[in-house]
Amino acid sequence: MRASKGLARKTPLRQRKPMVKRARPKMTAARREAQGRPCTIRIPCYCEPNPETTVLAHYRMGTGGGQKPDDEQAADACFVCHEIVDGRMAAPEYTKDQIRLWHAEGVLRTQESRRQEAA
Query: 71 versus 43: which is more confidently predicted?
Result: 43
DSSP 20: P
Query: 28 versus 85: which is more confidently predicted?
Result: 85
- The pLDDT-based confidence of 27 (bands split at 50, 70, 90) is confident
User: In the chain, what are the helix, strand and coil shares in percent, each to the nearest 5?
Assistant: 35, 5, 60
First vs last Cα of the chain: how many Å apart?
87
Query: Which candidate in 40, 41, 57, 58 is catalytic?
Result: 58
Q: Is 82 a catalytic residue?
A: no
Phi, psi of 30 (to 5 degrees): -65, -35
As a whole number of angstroms, the distance between CA 76 and CA 86 comes to 13
The 10s digit of each residue's pLDDT in 51-90 is 999 999 999 887 666 677 888 899 999 999 999 999 999 9
Q: Which pLDDT value is given to residue 1?
A: 56
Mean pLDDT of 31-47: 92
Q: Which domains does the chain have, with CATH numbers?
A: 29-118 (3.30.50.20)
